[in-house]
């Protein structure tokens, strides 16, 4: 397991093989992180969505909601139609800081609420066609520390464990989504709530097209 310490917001490369993972500790100030966690916990429109896995429907073992700069998002197979809430001032501030630190632009956020030790997400790659050839995902964590597992698709011996602490940022870029999968497993130890914000970039050409654009399994509806 990768042991990460307080390096005063200095980026740490934790993986640089068939893609890259970079980690920042203490990304915001302590008060900024506390206020954002409390705001998201109480004000977000959390839903327990139904998901489709290999043709079967399951209740997702966590709560989710979308924030975005525009439109309505939907996934034709994995997730039901989801209304993208507008970015709050705090989320806009965080997005601007992430963009400045990483050099990447983002325009929407998938927020995940892991209520306790029973909530999880199985191994997957964020490789939806709408995210482009080499998707870039910035993952910001608030609340309880949860273990982040990464495994290589071909090199079965090659895996990584990272503890994602409160107020930390993890960036996945390069060709990572083609070669690696990641997960947040359930635990036997009691856990408090954790909020995870995954920043993504949807193609700019979808921003102003109307009324409906379909690419791959994703659907975008622009504002009217």
Cα separation, 47 vs 83, in Å, equals: 11
Q: How far is CA 184 from CA 66, 68, 112, 207, in A?
A: 19, 24, 11, 31
Under 8 Å CB-to-CB from 63, ≥6 apart: which residues?
46, 47, 48, 112, 113, 115, 119
Cα separation, 25 vs 6, in Å, equals: 6
Looking at per-residue pLDDT, the higher value among 5 and 210 belongs to 5
Band of the pLDDT at 54, cuts 50, 70, 90?
A: confident
- pLDDT tens digits for 115-151? 999 999 999 999 988 888 999 999 999 999 999 999 9
Q: What is the pLDDT of residue 172?
A: 98
Band of the pLDDT at 57, cuts 50, 70, 90?
A: confident
Q: How far is CA 220 from CA 43, 68, 74, in A?
A: 24, 12, 7
Res. 224: pLDDT tops 60 = no
Domains, the chain, ordered by start: 12-221 (2.60.120.590)
pTM: 0.85
């Amino acid at each position: 397991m990768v042991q990460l310490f307080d390096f005063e917001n200095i980026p740490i490369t934790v993986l640089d093989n068939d893609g890259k993972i970079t980690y920042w500790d203490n990304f915001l100030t302590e008060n900024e992180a506390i206020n954002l966690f409390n705001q998201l916990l109480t004000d977000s429109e959390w839903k327990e969505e139904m998901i489709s896995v290999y043709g079967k429907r399951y209740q997702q073992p966590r709560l989710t909601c979308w924030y975005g700069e525009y439109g309505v998002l939907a996934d034709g197979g994995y997730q039901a139609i989801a209304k993208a809430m507008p970015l709050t001032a705090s989320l806009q501030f965080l997005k601007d800081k992430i963009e400045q630190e990483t050099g990447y632009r983002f325009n929407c956020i998938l927020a995940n609420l892991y209520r306790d030790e029973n909530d999880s997400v199985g191994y997957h790659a964020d490789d939806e066609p709408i995210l482009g050839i080499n998707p870039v995902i910035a993952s910001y964590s608030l609340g309880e520390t949860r273990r982040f597992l990464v495994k290589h698709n071909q090199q079965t011996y090659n895996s990584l464990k990272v503890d994602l602490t409160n107020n930390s940022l993890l960036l996945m870029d390069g060709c990572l989504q083609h070669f690696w999968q990641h997960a947040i497993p359930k635990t036997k130890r009691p856990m408090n709530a954790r909020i995870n914000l995954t920043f993504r970039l949807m193609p700019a050409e979808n921003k102003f097209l109307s009324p409906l654009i379909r690419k791959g399994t994703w659907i975008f509806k622009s504002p009217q």
